[in-house]
């Protein structure tokens, strides 16, 4: 691999580690919500009585929300439809269902309960070690072999396969928060 190839791989692999930015706990989608099927800006922000308990949300609806955000650009520290980093994406999507996730990847890795890779279900969080030995990237399981995530500084929210060599070698674990 040439010097340029190494630099591109290093940039892409390191881009999703969270910057620690702290968005609103339950972000509300912006203006393009009507086309995406997401709640509109006129939707009331969730209040304590409106929150969905972690055990009550529909994981397939959550995955649908995540998939509706495909194509959203990567933005380091991003946590809204203008751009996401990996943990901002998961925090935003789960926030739409009243589930408050911490902002950082490592903090999200401590949420919920550990799930064996053979028991993955739609809506589970999966974690990867891309830039260090600890969790440095997070994604949402769609089902089967697929997940959706905000992958890198040169990418967009997209679907990938867990069995792809890059991701399977870096898989760290999974957590279920519902």
Mean pLDDT of 15-28: 44
The catalytic residue among 13, 69, 86, 141 is 86
Q: How far apart are CA 108 and CA 102, in angstroms?
A: 6
Closest CA to 31 of 43, 22, 21, 23: 43
Looking at 149, 152, 157, 178, which residue is catalytic? 149
52-61 tens-digit pLDDT: 444 467 999 9
The three-state (H, E, C) secondary structure of 119-142, written as one string: HCCCCCEEEECCCCCCCCEEEEEE
Render pLDDT for 124-174 as a digit per residue (tens, 0 to 9). Answer: 999 999 998 899 999 999 999 999 999 987 899 999 999 999 999 999 999
Active site residue 32: no
The answer to whether 16 is a known catalytic residue is no
H and E: helices and strands count for the chain: 6, 8
Q: Report the pLDDT value the prediction gives residue 138, as an integer from 0 to 100.
A: 98
Q: Do residues 85 and 58 make contact, with C-beta atoms less than 8 angstroms apart? A: no
In the chain, where are the structural domains located? 3-25+51-176
Query: What is the model's pLDDT at position 56?
Result: 64
Q: Rounded mean pLDDT of 26-46?
A: 39
Residue 90 pLDDT: 98
Residue 149 is among the residues annotated as catalytic for this protein: yes
Whether residue 22 has pLDDT greater than 70: no
Catalytic residue among 137, 148, 157, 175: 137
Q: What is the C-alpha to C-alpha distance for residues 99 and 65, in angstroms, rounded to an integer?
A: 14
The CATH superfamily label for domain 3-25+51-176 reads endopeptidase domain like (from Nostoc punctiforme) (3.90.1720.10)
Q: What is the pTM of this model?
A: 0.73
- Report the share of the chain in percent with pLDDT over 70: 69
């Amino acid at each position: 691999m040439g010097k340029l190839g190494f630099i591109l791989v290093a940039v892409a692999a390191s881009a999703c580690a969270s910057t620690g930015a702290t968005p609103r706990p339950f972000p509300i989608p912006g203006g393009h919500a009507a086309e995406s099927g997401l709640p509109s800006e006129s939707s009331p922000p969730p209040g304590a009585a409106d929150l969905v308990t972690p055990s009550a949300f529909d994981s397939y609806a959550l995955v649908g929300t995540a998939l509706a955000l495909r194509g959203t650009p990567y933005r380091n520290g991003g946590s809204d439809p203008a751009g996401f980093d990996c943990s901002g994406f998961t925090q935003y999507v789960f926030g739409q269902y009243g589930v408050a996730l911490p902002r950082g990847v490592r903090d999200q890795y401590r949420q919920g309960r550990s799930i064996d890779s053979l028991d993955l279900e739609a809506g589970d969080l999966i974690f990867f070690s891309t830039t260090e030995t600890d969790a440095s990237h997070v994604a949402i399981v769609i089902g089967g072999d697929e997940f959706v995530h905000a992958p890198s500084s040169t990418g967009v929210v997209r679907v990938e396969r867990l069995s792809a060599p890059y991701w399977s070698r870096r898989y760290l674990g999974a957590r279920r928060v519902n």
